[in-house]
Amino acid sequence: MKEDDVKKAKKALIKRALGYDAKETVEEYVKGEDGIILTKKKVTKKPVPPDVSALKVLLELEPDKAISNMSEEELVLERERLLRELSQAQEKEEKICKKKSKKNEKSSMKK
C-alpha cells in the first residue's frame, strides 16, 4: 500500500472512531415537457456515533499508545475520555431528535 493510501485509511479510521455527521440527500424529480426536472431536494445531517472497534484498531496501530502498553492510570484516563466523547455524541443525537420531533409537531399542527 502506498504511503498516501495509508494516510487516507488512517484518517478514515480516526473519523469513524470519533464519530461524525453524515449528509443524506433525497431528491425528487418530475418528468415534464422540458425533460426531467428537480422538484424537491432535502439534505439532512445524521450523526454517526463513535465506533469503539475503530478506536481499538487505531490505538493498536500505534505501538507506543497501544492499550496493552498503558498503565492502569492511563487506561482509566482513556476510559473517562471515551465515556465523555460518547456522552457528548449521545447528547448531540438527542438534541437532533428533539428538533425533528418539534418540527413534526409544528407541521402536523398546520394540517
In a domain, 25, yes or no: no
Answer yes or no: is 15 within a domain: yes
pLDDT (0 to 100) of residue 34: 85
pLDDT of residue 44: 92
**What pLDDT sits at residue 18?**
86
Start-to-end C-alpha separation, the chain: 57
- Rounded to whole angstroms, the Cα distance separating 16 from 51 reads 6
- What is the per-residue pLDDT for 78? 81
Phi first, then psi, for residue 40 (nearest 5°) are: -140, 140
Per-residue model confidence (pLDDT) at position 24: 93
Q: What is the pLDDT along the chain (111 residues), one digit of tens a residue?
A: 788 888 888 888 888 888 889 999 999 999 988 899 989 999 999 999 988 888 888 777 776 666 667 788 888 888 888 888 888 888 888 888 887 777 766 665 555
Per-residue pLDDT, 80: 86
What's the number of domains the chain is made of? 1
Q: At residue 76, what is the residue type?
A: V
Query: What is the per-residue pLDDT for 27?
Result: 93
Cα 75 from Cα 34, distance rounded (Å): 63
Torsion, Cα of 38, 42, 43, 47 (10° steps): -150
> Residue 20's beta-bridge partner residues?
48
Give every CB contact of residue 39 below 8 A, 6+ residues apart in sequence. 28, 29, 30
Q: Is 41 domain-assigned?
A: no
Q: Which residues span the domain enclosing 91?
A: 3-19+52-110
Q: How far apart are CA 108 and CA 10, in angstroms?
A: 45
